[in-house]
Structure 1
Amino acid sequence: MSVFDPIYDVVIVGAGMAGASLAAALGSNARVLVLEAEAAPGYHATGRSAAFWSETYGGPDIQPLTTASGPLLEAGGHLAPLGSLHIGRAEDGAAIDAFLAAFADSAVVLDRVDPAAFIPGLRSDWVLGVQEPSCAYIDVAALHAGSIATARRAGAVFVTDAAFQDATRADSIWTIATQAGTARARILVNAAGAWADSVAIRAGARPLGLQAYRRTMVQLRTNPGAPDTLPHVADIAGRFYFKPEPGGRLWLSPHDETPTDPCDAAPEEIDVAIAIDQFEQAVDWQVAAVERRWAGLRTFAPDRLPVYGFGRDVPGFFWAAGQGGFGIQTAPAAALLAAALLLGSNPDPVVAGIDADRYAPGRFT
């Protein structure tokens, strides 16, 4: 019997972190088929993550999902200590104050510090610092693989090289045409990342105005090498961030957001040059070599919040999209929240206090 023969409860389009973690959260509560366009899951945004967990990343509306995900990530062995330091020049005082005020009513620990005490070779004009000690590395590959394994143990079926073509709904059943075959399901989940609006259109649903942006990363070898004690470092004005990697290497980004059509993103030389220039304006280290460069896509809804829930215009069409740059760090909690919305069940206690309405697709109606 073909994997396309049964009528599934749920078909998920996209096997990146959003789709895989939702399939895992659904567990044995639904018969699930996950369709992936590429030859292997996680090729695009998931496989190109900057791989850190920060409670402040994405702002106060994302923080509840990030904070709720922390204990789940720790329990799975997916976090390792890192810490983060948000730095600024004297003219960035208002931005530092606004950053602290934004999280003043949260449980996130933030402390004003002297950044020079944490970053050897920091140039003298960088005088402002806020420490975020909870920031951590994420083992993205292990988290993603673990989600797929959990989903498979519960009975989920994953099919690769199955690019979505179109979907129609009749008698409460979706018929979903893919490059690999035709599937049927009661609920169609759109977890297609940068391609989510395209999937919606081809399923007869109204797109939400999702926009993909290119983000550049480079791996540097520096002289001196990055010390083991170096935290993740982010410019409060959003011009760069960098973090240490094993072997004294650094991962550096110019924090770029270049609008793009959905694609297999590649770095532009100008963005690599901008990243290095910004880095050299922050520290007096020499860039000995650019060892690797890559780019990924971060996809945002118009209000920059993720979208979880059933659309209002087409029955049985569920959104799990628009995770921006915080899809990895929020994945465990977001998947629990989305699973409860999809099943119409009480949310897991981990996410019971999170207001799901702020992420509902109906907010764009």
Structure 2
Amino acid sequence: MKDQSVDYLIIGAGIAGASAAYELAKEANVILIEKETQLAYHSTGRSAAIYMQAYGNKTVRGLTRNSYEFYTNPPKGFSDKPLLRERGAIFLATKEQKILAEQHYKEMKNEVNNLELLEGEALRSLVPVINTDIYTSGIFEKDAMDIDTHAVHQGYINGFKGNGGTLITNCNVNSISRHNNIWCVDTTQGKIVAPMIINAAGAWADQIASLAGVRTINLEPKKRSVFYLSIDEYNTNKWPYVGDLSESFYFKPDSGKLFVSPCDEIPITPCDAKPSDLDIAIAVNNLEAVTNIEVKKVGHTLAGLRSFVADRTPVVGEDADVPGFFWLVGQGGYGFQTAPAIANCCRMLLTRNCFTESLKNLGVVEEALSPNRNSLDRNSVTV
């Protein structure tokens, strides 16, 4: 590949990088690079694929709600199929957690439509395998949806390329230097120069920052394991997503099977994550303890990476110490449900526009997402 010069170089073609590239390519020259040959290989391709407005902290919930319009009314030609499908989601509470469940319900009922606090047999009417001796109540979000993650990611990639953007896969970053406010990024596919780097490298984002001489943000990649389970005794297709307030497990229907996780968050060095036998054994034990399901045979297993900073809020914005270096990371488990809103936040910040009133009214402000916020205890540069 010949050396190329662009307005924006985006590193990482997962859902964060792809959605930002889509928005920016409408008005600028953009290159999107991905170190893997296969797109959406790590976190993006291993998502639980659920849209829940009651999930996450206040900023995350605002970003999720702001994304709803895009998902239910996407731009013409974005996808030939619906991006969201009915599912529902319930978070279970033990007898000891009843007061906590009531507090969460009161906190969110005015911002989340069709939210109910259910008790007793109402839980088993939704999911007949729930052990109501353990779980006595739950917060039910009727309007939670399945996300067609493949259609969403592909829609962003196709739209990006349709707007003139360039996607380069199998493109690893070797080194990053800067001269006269212009970045020179040496990759395995050649050199790319740009005044602005957008770091959407997921679990590898701090490594990219170190290469660029930028202080890291203490991003912590965490492994989450899942397995698939076939249950012949029940028709699980209509079940909602089921989790608990302690986040010790979740399961959701997926193509006639259950997608089951122990909700583990194991700190890990960025890698192609794999589940261990112990991870899966814990998931099986948790599922059997809280339901009357007997796991006779574990199906396909996998693991993915979820990356968080200390306050578990995404990091979106230009670095105060190093102008021209833009962070787009830390989405944790909220990447898909917040992607349209975060992509718009990127576009507004990079074009020096203020956040819209619709975002601010949902509690989403620049300061909460900024890489320069006080809640981030940033490290010195370590190359």
Structure 1 and Structure 2 fold alike (TM over 0.5): yes
Q: Cα gap change, 1:123/1:283 in structure 2, threshold over 3 Å: closer, same or farther?
A: same
The match for 2:94 among 86, 89, 96 is 89
| Range moving further from structure 2, 276-285 or 151-160 | 276-285
The match for 1:65 among 63, 81, 93 is 63
Report the counterpart of residue 343 of structure 1 in structure 2: 351
Query: What's the CA shift for 1:347?
Result: 4.6
Distance 1:272 1:5 in 2: 46
The answer to whether structure 1 residue 358 and structure 2 residue 368 are counterparts is yes
- Give secondary structure in 1 for the equivalent of 2:22: helix
The answer to whether structure 1 residue 213 and structure 2 residue 252 are counterparts is no
Query: What's the CA shift for 1:359?
Result: 0.4
Instruction: Look up the equivalent residue of 2:368 and give its one-letter code.
Output: R
Report the counterpart of residue 145 of structure 1 in structure 2: 154
Distance 1:173 1:291 in 2: 50
The answer to whether structure 1 residue 99 and structure 2 residue 97 are counterparts is no
- Give secondary structure in 2 for the equivalent of 1:80: strand
Instruction: Look up the equivalent residue of 1:327 and give its one-letter code.
Output: G
Contact 2:89/2:240 (CA < 8 Å) preserved in 1? yes
Q: Cα gap change, 1:63/1:97 in structure 2, threshold over 3 Å: closer, same or farther?
A: same
The match for 1:191 among 195, 200, 204 is 200
- Give secondary structure in 2 for the equivalent of 1:122: coil
Distance 1:112 1:145 in 2: 36
Query: What's the CA shift for 1:346?
Result: 4.8
The match for 1:329 among 310, 326, 337 is 337
Query: What's the CA shift for 1:350?
Result: 5.8
The match for 2:164 among 155, 159, 167 is 155
The answer to whether structure 1 residue 319 and structure 2 residue 327 are counterparts is yes
Q: Select the structure that is richer in strand.
A: 1
Instruction: Look up the equivalent residue of 1:362 and give its one-letter code.
Output: N
Report the counterpart of residue 9 of structure 2 in structure 1: 11
Contact 1:7/1:186 (CA < 8 Å) preserved in 2? no
TM-score scaled by length of structure 2: 0.91
Distance 1:121 1:50 in 2: 21
Report the counterpart of residue 78 of structure 2 in structure 1: none
The match for 2:125 among 106, 114, 117 is 117
| Range moving further from structure 2, 41-50 or 95-104 | 95-104
Residues 251-277 of structure 1: CA deviation (Å, up to 9, x unaligned): 011000000011100001111111111
Residues 16-71 of structure 1: CA deviation (Å, up to 9, x unaligned): 11100000011321100011100022110001101111112222221010111112
| Range moving further from structure 2, 98-107 or 78-87 | 98-107
1:192-341 mapped onto 2 (5 Å cutoff): 192-247=201-256, 249-341=257-349
Gaps of 5+ in 2: 75-81, 379-383
The match for 2:177 among 163, 168, 190 is 168
Instruction: Look up the equivalent residue of 1:339 and give its one-letter code.
Output: R
Distance 1:130 1:186 in 2: 47
Distance 1:187 1:340 in 2: 15
Distance 2:340 2:357 in 1: 13
Query: What's the CA shift for 1:282?
Result: 1.9
Query: What's the CA shift for 1:287?
Result: 2.2
Contact 1:209/1:301 (CA < 8 Å) preserved in 2? yes
What do you get for the CA RMSD once the two structures are aligned? 1.6
Same amino acid, percent of matched pairs: 35
Residues 100-146 of structure 1: CA deviation (Å, up to 9, x unaligned): 24424524442111312211132231211221011110011110011
Distance 1:55 1:159 in 2: 34
Distance 2:107 2:327 in 1: 28
| Range moving further from structure 2, 319-328 or 50-59 | 50-59
Report the counterpart of residue 127 of structure 1 in structure 2: 136
Contact 1:226/1:250 (CA < 8 Å) preserved in 2? no
Contact 1:219/1:293 (CA < 8 Å) preserved in 2? yes
TM-score scaled by length of structure 1: 0.95
The answer to whether structure 1 residue 54 and structure 2 residue 52 are counterparts is yes
